[in-house]
Chains A and B, each alone.
Chain A
Amino acid sequence: MTLAIEAEGLTKTFGETRAVDGIDLAVKPGTVYGVLGPNGAGKTTTIRMLATLLLPNAGSARVLGHDIVAEADVVRGLVSLTGQFASVDEELTGRENLLLLGRLLGFSRGPAGERADELLEAFGLTDAAERLVSTYSGGMRRRLDIASSIVVTPDLLFLDEPTTGLDPRSRNQVWEIVRVLVAAGTTVLLTTQYLDEADQLADRIAIIDHGHIIAEGTSAELKASVGSGALHVRLHDAGARPEAERVLAVTLGVSVERDADPAALTARGATPDRIALGLAELVNAGLTVEEFALGQPSLDEVFLSLTGHPAEPQDDDDNEEDAA
């Protein structure tokens, strides 16, 4: 079986900055592959190389069996790219945007128009079809952007941070679109800064930092490697905090932090079993728990655990990602 994406030692430098530093990827066809990392980690650069917009300095990659450098033109015919900043034309209407793409992909006038109407309907944009895109909301723009990418259904779709800056409802819509696309047989490579997005959509996830892949696997594998999420406890009586802290530290076997809230504690890295026991021990000790919550490991926690540094934007190559 030909892999949808096969990259070996893919590297891109901008001046002194190694934006992407030897990345290996193997993406099976018909799956969603998530590339997770903070701003400036090299996600966009990786996608731009795979979509033939940038030439790698070293390493090689084959997309759907074709070399991204030697057979760039073939690759372009098989993939679609939805960039980080909605790559739609703001000074045209939604329908005109789709007509434009339809014509550029080789449809004649009539079929291009039919295809545009069909996609507008499918993406819930029929009522806004004749409006200039500059009047669209962020979610509508994103949907039009994705619609533009599937005027001809691609074999492989690159989605660069498809939900960054979207409200929760629009985000859910984009997720739904991705699921339908994959069910229809398209392979999707998506980048994201959000662990839950990768968790929701991706079959496999690569975590990328400073141009390196620092972890790869299914969502479950990655979470297991990081340990479970954080336990947040809020006590009825702030005075009982030192006692609660001691009980939790003993039962959970991890360090317990005091939150800014004088009655709250946070414990990271404990297993769910231990957490259940810990809560029971608090009750046994006569400490009233007013509320508790279990957080999924956040991207920050995954990063902290894997790299020892927080997932903050890396300023040095941030500019490159923005300039794209």
Chain B
Amino acid sequence: MTATDVSTTVERSVDAATLRAALSTHARPPRPGRGSASVTFAWRAMRKIRHVPMQLFDVTAFPIMFTLIFTFLFGGALAGSPRDYLQYLLPGILVMTVTMITVYTGMALNTDVTKGVFDRFRSLAIWRPAVLAGMMLADTVRYTMAALVVIVLGVVLGFRPDGGPLGVLAALALIVLFSVALSWVWSSIGLRLQSPETVMQASMTVLFPLTFASNVFVDPDTMPGWLQAFVNVNPITHLTTASRELMHGHMDSGAIGWVLLWSAALTLVFAPLTMRLYSAER
């Protein structure tokens, strides 16, 4: 371990007197409330983003690359001009970015379980769902931050949404809502699989086809019929359509309805499942 050389210079011995003092001074405070415990877990997740910002940006870098490649390489051919294509593409890229970083929820949970931190949390006298509630709270912040990165990039490149800030905000809210619902899927997977890497692989195996076999990049009209059939029931397509329309000042209540329905369904199935797997023995 490379850290060993550094740590020996810093390491000092345990001071028995200080330790004795530290042991005798404090009484047991009252138990934290549900909200307080959840916020503490959210704080924990936010600190980690601060220490390892990569979990936000290595997944964002990929969509940024896609935005640049698709806009400038294919934009002219696909939509007449790169600028016109960007108006179509950016809401889709936003959906792709945020849904892709949802896999980190499952990975983080799996890391906790495999590293043993969970044992400590589970042996504390706290409201048990607080761990998950805090995680979802932090995810909301994480997803919003990643979305803002993509939106700012879009505006710099020339994205001008007709719906204005209000339309963008509405789309953002819808994307974050769906992503939090989707996170429950990865969190239940994260509690079942053996390592963070397998969680990543499993999640990506599901997410990649979902993202590409959708209307994120192109209008599905020119796709073969069987593919269109899939694209049209794909929740990513509904989310992309709804966000695209909202950003450009239209309300596609059909697509929005589907997104809300998918979000509710995913939450209703996978949130209780996650809770059960979390409380289960391991």
Which residues of A does B touch, CB under 8 Å? 48, 51-55, 73-74, 76-77, 79-81, 83-93, 96, 100-101, 103-108, 111, 115, 118-119, 121-124, 126-128, 132, 134-137, 139-140, 143, 148-150, 152-153, 173, 176-177, 180-181, 183-184, 186, 323-324
Contacts and interface: CB of A to CB of B under 8 A. Distances in A.
A139 B13 CA distance: 11
Given A81-B120, A89-B117, A92-B51, A135 B13 contact: no
Given A89-B117, A91-B51, A51 B29 contact: no
B19 A103 contact: no
Contact of A119 (B22, B123, B281): B22
A168 to B, nearest CB: 13
Q: Ordered nearest first, which 4 A-B pairs have the shortest CB separation?
A: A106-B29, A124-B12, A77-B125, A87-B116
Contacts of A136: 3, 7
Query: Interface centre among A76, A87, A176, by most B CB within 10 Å?
Result: A87
Contact of A100 (B20, B21, B44, B115): B44
A132 to B, nearest CB: 6
A137 B48 CA distance: 20
Interface string B42-79: 01100110011000000000000000000000000000
Contacts of A86: 116
Given A121-B18, A127-B12, A128-B7, 9 more contacts: A53-B281, A79-B123, A81-B123, A88-B117, A106-B28, A118-B25, A122-B18, A135-B7, A177-B14
Interface of B: 1, 3-4, 6-8, 10-16, 18-26, 28-32, 36-37, 40, 43-44, 47-48, 51-52, 112, 115-126, 281-282
B115 A104 contact: no
B125 A73 contact: yes
A86 to B, nearest CB: 7
Contacts of A92: 44, 47-48, 51
19 contacts: A51-B123, A52-B123, A54-B281, A76-B124, A83-B119, A91-B52, A103-B37, A103-B40, A103-B43, A104-B40, A106-B30, A118-B25, A122-B15, A124-B11, A128-B11, A140-B11, A149-B120, A184-B20, A186-B23
Given A87-B120, A137-B11, A180-B20, A111 B44 contact: no
Contact of B19 (A48, A76, A177): A177
Contacts of A87: 115-120
Contacts of A184: 20, 23-24
B83 to A, nearest CB: 41
A137 B8 contact: yes
Nearest to B9: A127
Contacts of B32: 103-106
A121 B16 CA distance: 11
A113 to B, nearest CB: 13
Contacts of B19: 122-123, 177, 180
Nearest to B126: A104
Nearest to B37: A104
Contacts of A84: 116
Contact of B29 (A93, A119, A152): A152
Contacts of A80: 123
A176 B14 contact: yes
B115 A180 contact: no
Nearest to A54: B281
B135 to A, nearest CB: 13
Contacts of A111: 26, 29
Contact of A140 (B7, B21, B121): B7
Contacts of B14: 122-124, 143, 173, 176-177
Nearest to A137: B7
A164 B177 CA distance: 45
B21 A153 contact: no
Query: Interface centre among A86, A106, A121, by most B CB within 10 Å?
Result: A106
Contacts of B13: 124, 173
A139 B11 contact: yes
A53 B117 contact: no
A52 B120 CA distance: 11
A181 B16 CA distance: 10
Nearest to B32: A106
A256 B19 CA distance: 48
Nearest to B2: A135
Query: Interface centre among B16, B44, B121, by most A CB within 10 Å?
Result: B44
A303 B120 CA distance: 32
B120 A77 contact: no
Contacts of B118: 87
Nearest to B112: A89
